[in-house]
Structure 1
Amino acid sequence: MVSTVFVNPKNGDTIQANQAITFAVKTNNLVAGSFTNPDNTYYAAPQTLQGGNIVGHTHITVQDLNGNINGEEPPNPQTFAFFKGVNTAANGQGQLTADLADGLPDGVYRACTLTSSSNHAPVIMPVAQRGPQDDCVRFTVGGNGGGNNNNGGQNNGQNNGQNNGQNNGQNNGQNNGQNNGQNGGQGQGGQGGQGQGGQGGQGGQGGFGGRRGRGRGRFSRRHYIA
């Protein structure tokens, strides 16, 4: 029985807009590349077998999902962004391919295979309880869904934010340690130093807070780095 899987694009991929795309699938148990003239042979003969496998071909059809990759409304079957019958045999990697030279504009799309006999009728399987003969993937083109890139940016941003936070913490710890330590020496900011200065503020007890504030600030910095 025929079984198909998409090789390119993968489900959930994000690809560049208006750039050439090669759709590629692998299909088992299909003697691919048999394609009669649809003008005068369409559905004109039943499917045939060769070595127990159906003789026929596949198609690649692509539809715009109107920006919603998980939409719940079935797309109009009469509307498609790309359709091509693959009338060649599999390549050296066992793949059937269809090229879209101009690519696709920004959007969210579904690509599916339509596997047919030589005379373009859908392939007929010998049993009802089975897996499907065709495959579909959903993918994004261009800026509408640079999901992977955006996620990467968020992760980087978070990491940078953490680093900056650490650096700021170090600087603040030092500054607060110095300032609060000095204030603590005057008897004003002992508690304030404990609240912000980190350990450095404690140095404000005894009038030597300036130096001890600096020293404890450095200890606080190592703590933030860890």
Structure 2
Amino acid sequence: MVFNMLIQATIETIYMVLLSAVVSLGIGFPCGILAAITSDGHIFENKGINRILNGIINITRSFPYIILMILLLPLSRLIIGTTIGSTAAIVPLSISAAPFVARIVENCVLEVDRGVIEASESLGANNFTIITKVMIPESLPSLIQGITLLVINLIGLSAMAGAIGGGGLGDLAIRFGYNRFKLDIMIYSVLIIIVLVQGVQLIGNLISNRLKKNGR
């Protein structure tokens, strides 16, 4: 019984995290690229766009997740049709993680050697080519590390989503472990979360290190 509950909750957590990561990357990645290239002295410098974009990112990052999750309950109901369960939790998870992704991508892209970018410009490369052929490939090891942090962050947030019926290991730990005084379920849930985090970090490090070696 307990084993089946843990398996189901683990699957729900992985489902929430993976889909939220994909959606947040879809939102945050282009925003991060745009924030980087519109910064001072970059290939598409535009102070107006940069200020607006940074303002939006800063405001959305300022909301504590539990408050943001409650505020987005109507949006979850509108999109998913319910506010309870793993699928409904994907909406606030994705929106909460998107500005985090944007900042990671912006910082990684800004670390790319400007000399490489200037060399591409001198060869006649347009902005799109510089972004896709220079900036992203050059910053890929750092981006992988950033995505690793994103997934780990989402695992923690998905556990917090259990506080309002989001499903997954957090929900199991709260409803059955804490509320029903079943310490073993709470301990098992925490141990599985630790294993997931360690596994993600290990895989992220391996991929990033491999890319760095290939780059050299």
TM score, norm. by length of structure 1: 0.22
Instruction: Return the structure number with greater strand share.
Output: 1
Larger radius of gyration: 1
TM score, norm. by length of structure 2: 0.22
Instruction: Return the structure number with greater helix share.
Output: 2
- Using CA pairs under 8 Å that are at least 6 residues apart, name the structure with larger relative contact order, 1 or 2: 2
